[in-house]
Amino acid sequence: MERQTDKKRQYGNWIITGAAIVFAALAVVVCLLLRPKAGAYDRFVIRYGDGKSIEIPAWETRTIVIRDGEIVEEATGADAENIIRIENGEAWMEHANCPHGECMRQGRLSAETVRTRPLGTWIVCAPHKVYIEFTGGAQ
């Protein structure tokens, strides 16, 4: 009788060990599947003017001034102007003289914020038709 109980216990241990191994393997597979794809969100595309756009790698540090649908060297505060800043993988509207400054309130666009921002991968300045999109991969 005692021997049989031992055998049962041993059998139970094997089941527990087996289940633990299967669980660990599943956890590894899930982690691999959920890992962000290489190249996801690696650049900002700024659209402006009538169908013009530039792409800036997310790791660059840049300040872009757009005035009346053109990229210009310096901000003057005159006319329709947007100042876009890209730094440490983040992009944001540093300054804009659009009527309500909505674009400045849209916050920072980065790999961390895309899931929680109301506008997702976009910063939009509708009055000036200036759009920043965070994109990546082979698109």
Examine residue 125 and tell whether it contacts Zn ion (CB under 5 A). Answer: yes
Least CB distance to Zn ion at residue 89 (A): 22
Least CB distance to Zn ion at residue 125 (A): 3
Examine residue 83 and tell whether it contacts Zn ion (CB under 5 A). Answer: no
Which of 75, 78, 72, 70 shows the shortest CA–CA distance to 51? 70
Size of the site for Zn ion (CB under 5 A): 4
Examine residue 46 and tell whether it contacts Zn ion (CB under 5 A). Answer: no
**Rounded CA separation 126/101 (Å):** 10
CA 100 to chain centre: 26
DSSP string, 46-69: EEETTTEEEEEETT--EEEEEETT
Examine residue 98 and tell whether it contacts Zn ion (CB under 5 A). Answer: yes
Least CB distance to Zn ion at residue 130 (A): 7
CA 85 to chain centre: 16
Instruction: Single out the segment in contact with Zn ion by CB under 5 A; choices: 23-31, 52-60, 61-69, 98-106.
Output: 98-106
Per CB under 5 A, residues contacting Zn ion are 96, 98, 103, 125
